[in-house]
A = this chain, B = another copy of it.
Amino acid sequence: MKQQLIQPRVLKGFRDYLPGAMIPREALMQTAREVYRSYGFSPIDTPALEYAEILLGKGGDESDKQVFRFQDQGKRDVAMRFDLTVPFARFTSQHLNDIGTPFKRYHIGTVWRGENPQKGRYREFMQCDFDTIGTAANIADIETLLVIHDLLCAIGFEKFTTRVNNRLVLNGLLEKLDLAEQSVGVLRALDKLQKIGADGVSAELTEKVGLSNDQAQQVLKLVTTEGDTETVMSELSTLLAGNERGELGVHNLHELFRCAARAGIPAERIALDVTIARGLDYYTGTIYETFLGDLPGIGSICSGGRYDNLTGLFSKQALPGVGASLGLDRLLAAMEELKMLPGISTPAPVLVILFDAEKSGEYLRIGRELRAAGISTEVYVDPKGVGKQMKYANRKGFQLAIIAGGDEFAVGNWQVKNLQSGEQQTVPEAELIAHVTSELSSDGGSAG
């Protein structure tokens, strides 16, 4: 009885990762883990499925249609997590006694959104967040900047800038000008600065938001002041003099630039940008956006900020924090465009050719010896012709092929073929590891 075949396919908005895509993806996640860990951020994980109420809030229907939500076997109203922030808030409220504060965590995990897939947008994607919670101290904000910096360097970027702002500055000015109630309208107008220019924004501020000319000019001055960081900072000090909130914002920015310099961050990689606002309702202090020097157009690839209250939905105790998130997919797209990806589909640089299947034990043995020396090595496992095996090696992107047959085994030699140059050398087995190591390093390839 023949079963009818099922057509293999994935759901709309979902995708498979083949080795060529997964190898750099996994490398990027590992780099993020290593940098986060090097700063003492600890990994956590939370379930993919939660009570819908937890993820969406009581009666929060607005985003329902973007969430995979269903009744489980026990008739519970459940949903798949759509970000890592809400689960983190729930986690923190639930385990606060165990984890204590300050608490530094990173979380690399898959999230799901039912939104309509567009170019470069998927219904399943990975988030890569780190946060320090339970402290309002500015040193946590400064460290966040250092983490972003060291993360991008570790990934392999040299030209990038993290733009920094502090929401207290604009909020302070609005407070000082008695415009706290109009902040949403003001922010909306300021957001159009690039598009409609200072005059356009000024008109909108006075005509739509209802600011006086003087108020509009002061607000505009805040976001259009030009010059080096010191100049802008001193201008901000003047504008905000007398407003406690605004002065704290300027002080914190000032300290951030000073400490980052002291900690060794090159000045050109941080820029004060009083125009960035991000997440109007959520962020309350420092804000970060990071742009690549060679591809600014793709937008911020690492963003975040300080918030006053992570756990409002779950707990009366306000828990402040600061953190950022690496845009994994955007970054991979950028790295591909900048030709920073290796374009290989093997994690091993060395292939041992299965020349004589009778000698399997020898090939398996040399593979283990190379691995013991830290050199990832695949042994070809199918008794095909050498030509086919070489084709396999080239297609996958191996750097070296190692071959031995009867003649070589008789005298204890291996042939080592460099697959880029095509050069082949006879190497006594006792010198094989040293030879392979040197070939791999001169190829600029990784040995592991």
**Pairwise interchain contact B347-A40, C-beta atoms closer than 8 A:** yes
Partner of A48, one of B41, B124, B376: B124
Stretch in A93-101, A175-183, A212-220 touching the partner: A93-101
Q: Does chain B have a CB within 8 A of A426?
A: no
**Pairwise interchain contact A315-B5, C-beta atoms closer than 8 A:** yes
Known: A11-B51, A54-B8, A351-B40. A365 touches B262 (CB 8 A): yes
Q: Does chain B have a CB within 8 A of A102?
A: yes
| Nearest CB of chain B from residue A270's CB, rounded to whole Å | 13
CB-CB under 8 A from A44, the residues of chain B are: 16-19, 22
Stretch in A70-78, A160-168, A410-418 touching the partner: A70-78
| Nearest CB of chain B from residue A386's CB, rounded to whole Å | 15
Interface flags for A358-392 (1: CB within 8 Å of B; 0: not) read: 00111111011101000011111111000000001
Cα distance A41–B22 when bound, in Å?
Answer: 12
Cα distance A377–B377 when bound, in Å?
Answer: 33
CB-CB under 8 A from A78, the residues of chain B are: 11
Partner of A95, one of B16, B26, B261: B16
Partner of A139, one of B9, B124, B381: B381
> Across chains A and B, which 3 residue pairs bring their CB atoms closest together, nearest first?
A40-B378, A262-B361, A70-B70
| Nearest CB of chain B from residue A414's CB, rounded to whole Å | 16
Interface flags for A260-273 (1: CB within 8 Å of B; 0: not) read: 11111000000000
> Which residue on B lies nearest to A144, using beta carbons?
B381
Q: Does chain B have a CB within 8 A of A408?
A: no
**Pairwise interchain contact A42-B22, C-beta atoms closer than 8 A:** yes
**Pairwise interchain contact A146-B16, C-beta atoms closer than 8 A:** no
Partner of A47, one of B14, B23, B72, B351: B14
**Pairwise interchain contact B11-A50, C-beta atoms closer than 8 A:** yes
**Pairwise interchain contact A347-B315, C-beta atoms closer than 8 A:** no
Chain A 50-103 interface residues, beta-carbon cutoff 8 Å to B: 50-51, 53-54, 57-58, 65, 68, 70-74, 76, 78, 80, 90-91, 93-95, 98-102
Cα distance A371–B41 when bound, in Å?
Answer: 13
> Which residue on B lies nearest to A391, using beta carbons?
B100
Cα distance A4–B4 when bound, in Å?
Answer: 53
CB-CB under 8 A from A425, the residues of chain B are: none
**Pairwise interchain contact A137-B57, C-beta atoms closer than 8 A:** no
17 further interface pairs, Cβ-Cβ under 8 Å (given A6-B54, A9-B90, A264-B365): A3-B58, A3-B313, A8-B314, A10-B94, A16-B46, A16-B94, A37-B448, A39-B376, A40-B346, A40-B351, A42-B346, A42-B347, A139-B379, A139-B381, A143-B379, A262-B361, A262-B364
Cα distance A4–B23 when bound, in Å?
Answer: 45
CB-CB under 8 A from A124, the residues of chain B are: 47-49
**Pairwise interchain contact B348-A37, C-beta atoms closer than 8 A:** yes
**Pairwise interchain contact A38-B348, C-beta atoms closer than 8 A:** yes
Q: Does chain B have a CB within 8 A of A31?
A: no
Known: A37-B376, A378-B104. A90 touches B139 (CB 8 A): no
CB-CB under 8 A from A379, the residues of chain B are: 39-40, 139, 143
Partner of A33, one of B26, B40, B143, B261: B26
Partner of A146, one of B19, B51, B114, B364: B364
CB-CB under 8 A from A47, the residues of chain B are: 10-11, 14-16, 124
Cα distance A367–B260 when bound, in Å?
Answer: 12
